[in-house]
């Protein structure tokens, strides 16, 4: 092989290697672009799905707003018909009278000893809200529950010394909160120091 043929063979081999590299680079670029394109399609699909869900939520919100408007109109209508200022005062007076009647009836029906203990609890708890409801709950309690309340109410009141942080008395009774754990430092003192019903209490 002469020098020219040798030089030509080297050039051919070099050209073949370059072409091979170009083909590989082209193939890699094609795969890379396809991958990007697929990812874009996935993102577009997610975006479309998200848009659909947002539209559904928007429709539900609009439905709720319509229902709220309807309820507000009904309340307004009732208010205009039945709760004008004069009528409202009359209604409140009637309601208070009925509540007082029910409370007196309930107290008459309740066992005197049970009522006495309720009054002791009521004064000790010292958050006078919903007395009639509390009376109704108290009347259904077992004697052992009442005894447990009388032993623990003082501890609870000392623990929650600020009345605003005490549970509503009806919640305390309904939820059997006398069974809840009280920090040791607030536990009930000896029985001689238990809360007693004030002698001048009026009911």
Same domain for 187 and 108: yes
Statement: residue 10 has pLDDT above 70: no
Q: Structural domain of residue 39, as residue ranges?
A: 1-82
Q: Which stretch of 10-24, 31-45, 52-66 has the lowest confidence by average pLDDT? A: 10-24
Same domain for 122 and 66: no
Torsion, Cα of 121, 123, 127, 133 (10° steps) = 50
Q: Which of 82, 111, 138 is the last residue in one of the domains?
A: 82
Same domain for 75 and 112: no
Same domain for 188 and 106: yes
Whether 68 is covered by a domain: the verdict is yes
Residue 159 CA to residue 174 CA, distance in Å, equals 20
Whether 176 is covered by a domain: the verdict is yes
Same domain for 114 and 65: no
Whether 89 is covered by a domain: the verdict is no
Tokens at residue 144, please? Answer: 């052992």
Same domain for 110 and 70: no
Whether 13 is covered by a domain: the verdict is yes
Kind and range of the H or E element at 132? helix 131-139
Whether the full predicted model's pTM is greater than 0.85, yes or no, is no
Number of domains composing the chain = 2
Whether 88 is covered by a domain: the verdict is no
Whether 90 is covered by a domain: the verdict is no
Same domain for 123 and 59: no
Interval 153-166 mean pLDDT = 92
CA–centroid distance for 98 within its chain: 34
Same domain for 142 and 68: no
CA–centroid distance for 105 within its chain: 37
Q: Which stretch of 24-28, 47-51, 178-182 has the lowest confidence by average pLDDT? A: 24-28
Statement: residue 195 has pLDDT above 60: no
Cβ–Cβ < 8 Å for 174, 141: no
Whether 132 is covered by a domain: the verdict is yes
90 band by pLDDT with thresholds 50, 70 and 90: very low
Same domain for 71 and 109: no
Same domain for 111 and 65: no
- Tell me, what's the pLDDT at 106? 55
Angle between helices 112-125 and 131-139 (to 10 degrees): 130
Same domain for 71 and 14: yes
Same domain for 189 and 117: yes
Residue 137 CB coordination number (10 Å): 16
Name the nearest CA neighbour of 152 among 125, 188, 123, 180.
188
Whether 135 is covered by a domain: the verdict is yes
């Amino acid at each position: 092989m002469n020098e020219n043929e040798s030089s030509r063979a080297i050039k051919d081999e070099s050209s073949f290697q370059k072409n091979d590299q170009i083909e590989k680079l082209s193939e890699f670029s094609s795969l890379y672009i396809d991958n990007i394109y697929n990812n874009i399609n996935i993102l577009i699909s997610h975006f479309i799905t998200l848009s659909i869900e947002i539209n559904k939520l928007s429709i539900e919100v609009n439905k709720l707003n319509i229902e709220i408007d309807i309820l507000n109109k009904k309340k307004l209508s009732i208010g205009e018909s039945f709760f004008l200022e004069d009528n409202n005062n009359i209604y409140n007076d009637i309601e208070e009278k009925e509540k007082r009647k029910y409370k007196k009836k309930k107290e008459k029906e309740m066992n005197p000893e049970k009522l006495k203990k309720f009054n002791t609890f009521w004064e000790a708890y010292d958050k006078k809200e919903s007395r009639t409801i509390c009376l109704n709950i108290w009347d259904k309690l077992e004697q052992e529950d009442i005894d447990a309340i009388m032993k623990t109410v003082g501890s609870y009141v000392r623990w929650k010394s600020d009345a605003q942080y005490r549970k509503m008395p009806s919640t305390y009774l309904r939820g059997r909160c006398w069974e809840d754990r009280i920090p040791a430092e607030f536990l009930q003192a000896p029985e001689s120091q238990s809360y007693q019903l004030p002698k001048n209490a009026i009911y």
